[in-house]
């Protein structure tokens, strides 16, 4: 499975590192992407984000994984007061293998994945040849299809070296 993580409040690096530690309890063979600094999208009057992605395996169902992810977010101070607003931590399930899930609570693949450089670039670090089960395109092809990004978008390297 492939998860996207972001943070733009508090000690962003510490929050992402804490999220990785907590996810590691549930994901086998977990590998993290590089870290990216990105301008906010949708609601622009907020601090810049640090974004990354994680690849791993789990015995959890998609809904069990969602519960774990939401518990991690809550444990790290996430408050859901404004859609697309500032947050201490955000963890999205982008892909769960080739699963298709469409419910009120969960949609997999993530419905906005193909328009978000801050999701696709970290995913391409981990799985550039992963084929999107809906579009049939690889993560790398989706990333290359995005228009040039004039907003702030900077590759920072691994979380551990920053």
pLDDT at 129: 97
Print the domain residue range for 39: 2-112
Judge whether 92 counts as a catalytic residue. yes
Q: Is residue 134 part of a domain?
A: no
Judge whether 87 counts as a catalytic residue. yes
Judge whether 116 counts as a catalytic residue. no
Q: Is residue 123 part of a domain?
A: no
Burial of 39 (0-12, 13-18, 19+ CB in 10 A): middle
Q: Round to whole Å and give the CA distance between 70 and 74.
A: 6
Q: Is residue 156 part of a domain?
A: no
pLDDT at 158: 78
Q: Which of these is catalytic: 55, 92, 113, 117?
A: 92
Over its C-alpha atoms, the chain yields an Rg (Å, rounded) of 15
Q: Specify the number of domains making up the chain.
A: 1
- What the block records as the tokens of 80 is 């859901």
Q: Which of these is catalytic: 12, 22, 55, 90?
A: 90
pLDDT in tens, 46-67: 899 999 999 999 999 999 999 9
Q: Is residue 141 part of a domain?
A: no
Q: Is residue 73 part of a domain?
A: yes
Q: Which of these is catalytic: 22, 55, 87, 116?
A: 87
Q: Is residue 80 part of a domain?
A: yes
Q: Is residue 32 part of a domain?
A: yes
Backbone angles phi, psi at 70, to 5 degrees: -65, -35
Each of the 162 residues of the chain gets a pLDDT tens digit; together they read 999 999 999 999 999 999 999 999 999 999 999 999 988 888 888 899 999 999 999 999 999 999 999 999 999 988 877 787 788 999 999 999 999 999 999 999 998 898 889 999 999 999 999 999 999 999 999 999 988 765 667 778 777 643
Q: Round to whole Å and give the CA distance between 19 and 32.
A: 11
Q: Is residue 65 part of a domain?
A: yes
pLDDT at 44: 82
Residues 88 and 78 sit within 8 Å (Cβ to Cβ): yes
Q: Strand, helix or coil at 91?
A: strand
Q: Round to whole Å and give the CA distance between 14 and 88.
A: 10
Q: Which of these is catalytic: 12, 55, 78, 113?
A: 78
Q: What is the CATH number of the domain that holds 85?
A: 3.30.70.560
């Amino acid at each position: 499975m492939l998860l996207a993580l972001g943070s733009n409040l508090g000690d962003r690096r510490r929050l992402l590192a804490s999220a990785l530690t907590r996810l590691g309890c549930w994901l086998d063979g977990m590998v993290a992407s590089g870290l990216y600094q990105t301008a906010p999208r949708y609601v622009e009057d907020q601090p810049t984000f640090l974004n990354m992605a994680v690849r791993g395996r789990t015995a959890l169902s998609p809904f069990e994984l969602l519960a774990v992810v939401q518990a991690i977010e809550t444990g790290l101070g996430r408050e859901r007061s404004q859609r697309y607003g500032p947050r201490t931590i955000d963890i999205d399930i982008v892909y769960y293998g080739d699963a298709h899930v469409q419910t009120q609570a969960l949609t997999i693949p993530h419905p906005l994945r193909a328009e978000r450089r801050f999701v696709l670039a970290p995913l391409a670090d981990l799985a550039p040849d992963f084929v999107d089960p809906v579009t049939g395109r690889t993560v790398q092809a989706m990333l290359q299809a995005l228009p040039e990004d004039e907003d702030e978008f900077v590759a920072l390297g691994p979380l551990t070296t920053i």
